[in-house]
Amino acid sequence: MDNQTRQVREAVSNVEKHFGELCQIFAAYVRKTARLRDKADLLVNEIYAYAATETPSLKLGLKNFADEFSKLQDYRQAEVERLEAKVVDPLKSYGTIVKLKRDDLKATLTAKNREAKQLSQLERTRQRNPSDRHIIAESDLQRASMDATRTSRQLEETIDNFEKQKIKDIKSIFSEFITIEMLFHGKALEIYTAAYQNIHTIDENDDLEVFRSSLYPPDYQSRLDIVRANSKSPLQRTGSSKFSSGIIQQISNSRLRKEEEEDEEEEEDDDELEATKEER
């Protein structure tokens, strides 16, 4: 095996090796992106759950934020699918391409070597018998030389195509990666701009009014009024009139028990998370 043959084979092996590694790491990158989306989905659900228990302005602000954040996760899902289709899959299919190219090169290299051998043999024959076998050797040498040149040019072409295609593919794969990522980051900026407004417009004073009125139901207020009416010197009570109407939330004991159970589950989750952390 001459230097050239070795060099071509090494070039193909190198591409095989690095495209394989790139494929694996890009796939891992995509998987981690999908896991990030999973956690973001959990966040969306938890924000909805928390918002449902809150006063109107906070409830609306958080719900709207969760709507936007959920939309962003749809874009992240699209990012994941596009990266798989346009980056991971093309790198994966390169394994097959490289194998075919390698067979192609092997055949051409074999022919080239066979012809080079034939050519040098003819040269030797001609030098040993310069007189009587001159005519035959001359035309044989000429044909062998032409064959060797043709096969060499064919090999050059095969290698050229391989190299050219490889660079084109690398360019296309990385361009796709960048485009897909940019699309996602652009959408993220757009969505977070809207989401910021949702959080910014939450009005703590509006919510405080509602919370107060839910805490001080009419029966409590009227009981105080009776005391005040019965006592001879009316108390100077101000600022509580706004608490007079209210909503009484019914809290059953079963619900309280349920919450305690959930707290225990949370602690278990915590342990699991810690365990996962330690595995790293």
Give the residue among 195, 166, 200 at the shortest CA–CA distance from 14.
166
Residue 227 touches its own copies, criterion: CB under 8 A: yes
SS3 label, residue 36: helix
Residue 14 touches its own copies, criterion: CB under 8 A: yes
Burial class, 252, CB count within 10 angstroms (exposed 0-12 / middle 13-18 / buried 19+): exposed
Measured between alpha carbons, how far is residue 134 from residues 115, 126, 131, 143, 150 in Å?
Answer: 20, 7, 5, 14, 24
Interface map 111-140 toward its own copies (x if CB under 8 A): --------x---x--x-----------x--
Site for its own copies in 77-116 (CB under 8 A): none
Site for its own copies in 28-67 (CB under 8 A): 28-29, 31-33, 35-36, 38-40, 42-43, 46-47, 49-50, 53, 55, 58, 61-62, 65
When binding is defined by CB under 8 A, the residue of 259, 261, 264, 268 that contacts its own copies is 259
Give the residue among 246, 240, 205, 217 at the shortest CA–CA distance from 56.
205
- Closer CB to its own copies, residue 85 or residue 167? 167
Residue 13 touches its own copies, criterion: CB under 8 A: yes
Residue 18 touches its own copies, criterion: CB under 8 A: yes
When binding is defined by CB under 8 A, the residue of 85, 107, 136, 215 that contacts its own copies is 215
Residue 264 touches its own copies, criterion: CB under 8 A: no
When binding is defined by CB under 8 A, the residue of 74, 85, 174, 218 that contacts its own copies is 174
Stretch that binds its own copies, among 4-12, 77-85, 92-100, 102-110 (CB under 8 A): 4-12
Residue 249 touches its own copies, criterion: CB under 8 A: yes
Contact 125, 133 (CB under 8 A): yes
Residue 208 touches its own copies, criterion: CB under 8 A: yes
From CA 280, how far away is CA 275, in angstroms rounded?
9
Give the residue among 17, 25, 38 at the shortest CA–CA distance from 83.
25
Residue 231 touches its own copies, criterion: CB under 8 A: yes
When binding is defined by CB under 8 A, the residue of 77, 145, 213, 244 that contacts its own copies is 145
Residue 179 touches its own copies, criterion: CB under 8 A: yes
- Closer CB to its own copies, residue 104 or residue 192? 192
Measured between alpha carbons, how far is residue 25 from residues 35, 46, 78, 84, 171 in Å?
Answer: 15, 32, 19, 12, 17
CA torsion sign, 25 to 26 to 32 to 34?
Answer: negative
From CA 206, how far away is CA 210, in angstroms rounded?
7
Residue 36 C-alpha from the chain's centroid: 8
